[in-house]
């Protein structure tokens, strides 16, 4: 059965390959997505190294002059997707013009972590590919600090930038903002391709689009969007991933003998370490999202809260409390690690980021736990992921209680994560 699933996973990646870049799934997501592509490269890396690096190079082709790598690259206009290039209008960005139509926000910078994985499991050729992408990747990390830095933390201007689109984490920021009274009428497409009950609500969507309107009217001046935009929250997901990505890029810099870049990365890491405590929510005893405008924390544990191990940050006590949370949640659901605490308000096992298990998140969480010596939990998370895929197939995400697959089918990152990490044959595949 595992061999069949390996074959199926390879076929999914090949079917979703659009020649140099891979769509997350046909129809629902018809473009190149930022962090999806990075995970996809891990999957290609198990059977076609050159194709893996091409995926990453294509992603960086969309990089803006200021260093931002957008969340979606619109290499063509697909009328079946909303909101597409005509809504974002990033080609009218104040200066200079972005290389291709894209969104005007970024996504979690997992790229450097994937580059390091490919370098460590590969040979001299992989290091050469990494060298070609190095400067652009560093420029993107720098962008987070200069354009999204606020009160000592790297913040985010839009839930879409976090990759965890409608997690209840964003409630403090969304509740505090108004829907733009001049928001143009619009027609959603996501609810045509997926069950509306598993997708964001109308009010959330109105707010998501109000932020886009602000960005568009500010001609995508990123500093203005951060300082004056309607939404500004700190996301433990972006924080922990960026901190880890800086550490992984430092590792690559050292292999390439880039001393100046290494010194810069050490300083970015230092700033990141100092920001970790900003996310500590004493009421819950965990790292959670926080509204930078008001200081208010979100009121639940998410799967991003437990990425502190992946970033190797936080005090021993904070890490211990986080382990206890994971153990508690393990008693409450059948499959780890749900995207939202099953005991918190708004938990919904089928709804986007309000409960479902996400393959790419499980991979990062488990890797971090294993690195910090929490092997039993790390293995449980991997075993749960493998069982979910064996039981339901290559879905976008999964119900943590029933194990049913949710939303997109034949999903690229699920196939990639299977090949690189969850498949019982992963060692053979990686060889």
State the residues that interact with ligand GLC by CB under 6 A: 24, 29, 33, 35-36, 163, 165
Catalytic residue among 165, 206, 251, 348: 165
Q: Are strands 280-281 and 149-150 parallel, antiparallel or unpaired?
A: unpaired
Give least dist CB 45 to ligand GLC, A. 19
- What's the rounded Cα separation, in Å, for the pair 32 and 54? 13
| Chain mean position to CA 158 | 13
Asked if residues 26 and 44 have their Cβ atoms less than 8 Å apart, the reply is no
DSSP for residue 424: T
Closest CB 48 distance from ligand GLC, rounded Å: 21
- The nearer residue to ligand GLC, 29 or 81, going by C-beta atoms, is 29
Query: Which residues fall within 8 angstroms of residue 358, CB to CB, at 6 or more apart?
Result: 303, 339, 396, 397
- 362 is written with which tokens? 């499980």
User: C-beta of 241: minimal distance to ligand GLC in Å?
Assistant: 12
54 three-class SS: helix
- Contact assessment for residue 81 and residue 193, using Cβ atoms and an 8 Å cutoff: no
Name beta bridge partners: 102: 73
* Complex with ligand GLC: residue 198 or 281, whichever CB lies closer: 198
Among residues 107 and 291, whose Cβ is nearest to ligand GLC?
Answer: 107
* 131 part of the active site: no
Q: How far is the CB of 33 from ligand GLC (least distance, A)?
A: 4
2-16 vs 34-44: helix axis angle to the nearest 10? 130
Spatial contact of 115 and 252, defined as CB atoms under 8 Å apart? yes
Nearest to 293 by CA among 229, 242, 221, 240: 229
Nearer to ligand GLC, 268 or 407 (CB): 407
Q: Toward ligand GLC, which CB reaches closer, 29 or 58?
A: 29
Identify whether the C-beta of residue 243 lies closer than 8 Å to the C-beta of residue 309: no
Q: Give catalytic status of residue 248 as yes or no.
A: no
Smallest distance from the beta carbon of 192 to ligand GLC, in angstroms? 15
Minimum CB distance to ligand GLC smaller for 41 or for 265:
41
Strand 286-287 versus strand 280-281 pairing type: antiparallel
Beta bridge mates, 297: 290
The distance of closest approach from Cβ of residue 291 to ligand GLC in the complex, given in angstroms and rounded to an integer, is 20
CA nearest 319: which of 309, 331, 329?
309
Structure tokens at 300: 């639940």
The whole-angstrom separation of Cα 87 and Cα 89 is 6
- Taking the C-alpha atoms of residue 153 and residue 92, their distance in angstroms, rounded to an integer, is 29
H-run or E-run covering 342: none
Q: What angle do CA 74, 77, 80 make, to 5 degrees?
A: 110
7 burial level (CB within 10 Å; 0-12, 13-18, 19+): exposed
Name which of 16 and 291 has its Cβ closer to ligand GLC: 16
The minimum distance between CB 419 and ligand GLC, in angstroms, equals: 17
Q: Are 233 and 150 in contact (CB under 8 A)?
A: no
- Choosing from 6, 171, 264, 396, which is the catalytic residue? 396
Cβ proximity to ligand GLC, 35 vs 297, nearer residue = 35
CB 117, min distance to ligand GLC, A: 19
Report, as residue numbers or ranges, the catalytic residues. Answer: 165, 396
């Amino acid at each position: 059965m595992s061999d069949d699933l390996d074959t199926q996973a390879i076929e999914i990646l090949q079917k979703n390959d659009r020649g140099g870049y891979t769509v997350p799934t046909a129809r629902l997501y018809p473009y190149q997505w930022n962090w999806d592509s990075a995970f996809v490269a891990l999957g290609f890396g198990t059977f076609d190294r050159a194709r893996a690096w091409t995926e990453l190079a294509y992603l960086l082709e969309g990089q803006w002059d200021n260093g931002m790598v957008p969340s979606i690259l619109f290499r063509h206009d697909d009328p079946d997707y909303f909101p597409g290039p005509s809504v974002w209008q990033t080609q009218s960005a104040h200066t200079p013009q972005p290389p291709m139509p894209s969104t005007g926000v970024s996504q979690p910078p997992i790229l450097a972590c994937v580059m390091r994985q490919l370098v460590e499991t590969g040979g001299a050729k992989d290091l050469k590919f990494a060298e070609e992408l190095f400067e652009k990747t560093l420029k993107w990390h720098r962008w987070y600090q200069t354009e999204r830095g606020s009160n000592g933390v790297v913040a985010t201007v839009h839930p879409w930038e976090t990759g965890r689109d409608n997690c209840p984490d964003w409630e403090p920021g969304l509740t505090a903002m108004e829907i733009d009274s001049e928001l143009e009428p619009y027609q959603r497409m996501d609810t045509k391709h997926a069950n509306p009950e598993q997708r964001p609500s109308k009010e959330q969507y109105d707010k998501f689009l109000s932020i886009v309107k602000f960005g568009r009217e500010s001609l995508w001046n990123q500093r203005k969007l951060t300082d004056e935009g309607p939404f500004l929250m700190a996301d433990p997901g972006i924080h922990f991933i960026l901190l880890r990505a800086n550490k992984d890029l430092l590792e690559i810099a050292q292999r390439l003998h880039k001393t100046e870049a290494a010194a810069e990365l050490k300083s970015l890491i230092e700033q990141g370490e100092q920001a970790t405590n900003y996310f500590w929510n004493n009421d819950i005893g965990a790292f959670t999202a926080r509204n930078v405008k008001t200081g208010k924390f979100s009121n639940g544990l998410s799967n991003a809260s437990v990425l502190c191990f992946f970033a190797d940050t936080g005090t021993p006590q904070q890490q211990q409390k986080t382990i206890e949370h994971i153990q508690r949640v393990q008693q409450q659901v059948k499959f780890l690690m749900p995207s939202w605490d099953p005991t918190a308000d708004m938990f919904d096992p089928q709804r986007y980021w309000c409960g479902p298990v996400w393959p790419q998140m499980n991979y990062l969480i488990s890797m971090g736990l294993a690195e910090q010596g929490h092997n039993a939990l790390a293995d449980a998370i991997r075993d749960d992921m493998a069982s979910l895929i064996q039981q339901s197939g290559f879905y976008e995400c999964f119900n943590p209680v029933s194990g049913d697959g949710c939303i997109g089918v034949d999903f690229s990152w699920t196939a990639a994560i299977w090949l690189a990490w969850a498949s019982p044959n992963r060692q053979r595949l990686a060889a």
